[in-house]
Copies of this chain bind each other. A is one copy, B any other.
Amino acid sequence: MVASAEHGISREELRLAARNHAMPLEGLRWPITPVGLHYLLVHYDVPLVDPEGWRLDVSGAVERPVSLTLDELRERPVVELTVTMECAGNGRALIEPRPLSQPWLMEAVGAATWRGVPLASLLDEAAPAVSAVEVVFSALDRGIEAGVEQRYERSLSLAEARESGAVLAYDMNGDPLPPQHGFPLRLVVPGWYGMTNVKWLTGITVTTEPFGGYQNATSYRYRRSEAEPGRTVTHMRPRSLMVPPGIPDFFTRARTVEIGPVGLEGRAWSGLEPVVRVEVSADGGTTWADAELTHDFDDPFAWRGWSYRWQAARGDHVLCCRATDAAGETQPLEPEWNVGGYENNAVQRVDVHVR
């Protein structure tokens, strides 16, 4: 299902945009995104969970099934990590024709510090069978998607579950998870797009067959046509974003900047390899100059800050930024169309008027 730009955003897309929200780009100023500014995508409804009745069950093809209360989880050895998390559909509404789903522009991102229990230690304790191949993470939220009734579930391979540094997180930025970010427990898999980080987690099931659930087998697949099976969407591609300089117009968000030196700043991240370079263009991507990179966190999947001193001349300009990772992958100038509108890491364009 797609729509072209001239038809405008549909009522269904607006309903999703009113519920789910991006991070206003000035939120890039904070190294850790304040709760409420961090992007949020909820497939079904935010459940109201009674922590007293809640348990995490690790079961399936394991030697020793585990069932834990929230207090028991909090008594286990703690790990803390800061990660940048981005929705796999970020940038979808900028792809033409536009795939019909949550109509993200480019700000579906945020960074948080998560505290919880290493997934690997809990899996080791449960002792997966030698025939085990995947781990399925099951949530409490329930709904219908493309005609399929389901609770939200996603799987990782057993190797990914063990080796990705994944955390079962009960705290976000030093406080218990807010309801909308998965209270009382969520999965956090550093470097992966948001859909992997299952919220309202209640079950972990080790399987001896690949998981065929909707969110792995049907959705979150990168496909050039409806006919092809496509590949699964996994790690975040390199991306950089800029705090729009100057002051905005309320309705159009068009920016007005004063003539003279302007400090441009933003952040860059990748789920694949470390970001090693950010470049800035003030002419819509024709010429580029290197920005200065900062190193704010030791965690490899937290974003890096960048800054660039721009000499703003009177007139209209299109500012852009682009990140390159250690493997040499650079953000493209134009998005690649795909059925679900995933992984659009095309460079941001900010129109500014200098006076």
Contacts and interface: CB of A to CB of B under 8 A. Distances in A.
Contacts of A34: 178-180
A103 B19 CA distance: 12
Contact of A103 (B12, B14, B100): B14
Contacts of A21: 18-21
A37 B30 contact: no
A93 interface: yes
A67 B144 CA distance: 56
B19 A22 contact: yes
A254 to B, nearest CB: 8
Nearest to A254: B144
Given A36-B36, A46-B37, A179 B9 contact: no
A87 to B, nearest CB: 12
A108 to B, nearest CB: 8
A57 B40 CA distance: 37
A207 to B, nearest CB: 24
A167 to B, nearest CB: 20
Interface string A144-174: 1110010000000000000000000000000
Contact of A12 (B26, B100, B251): B251
B30 A93 contact: no
B145 A250 contact: yes
Interface in A6-61: 7-22, 24, 26-27, 29-30, 34-38, 40, 42-48
Interface residues of A, number: 62
A248 B146 CA distance: 11
A249 B145 contact: yes
Contacts of A180: 24, 34, 36-37
Contacts of A286: none
A192 interface: no
Contact of A17 (B5, B14, B38, B47): B14
Given A15-B105, A48-B29, A253-B15, A144 B247 contact: yes
A244 B36 CA distance: 23
B40 A36 contact: yes
A14 B18 contact: no
A143 interface: yes
Nearest to A35: B36
B256 A93 contact: no
A104 interface: yes
Given A19-B24, A21-B21, A29-B48, A247 B149 contact: yes
Given A9-B8, A24-B46, A48-B29, A18 B247 contact: no
10 closest residue pairs by CB, A with B: A8-B8, A21-B21, A9-B9, A36-B36, A17-B17, A145-B250, A26-B45, A18-B22, A144-B249, A19-B24
Given A19-B24, A149-B256, 4 more contacts: A18-B22, A21-B21, A34-B178, A44-B248
Interface of A: 3, 5, 7-22, 24, 26-27, 29-30, 34-38, 40, 42-48, 93, 100-101, 103-105, 107, 142-146, 149, 178-181, 244, 247-253, 256
14 contacts: A9-B13, A12-B252, A18-B21, A19-B22, A19-B107, A20-B21, A24-B45, A26-B48, A27-B46, A36-B36, A36-B178, A37-B178, A44-B247, A145-B249
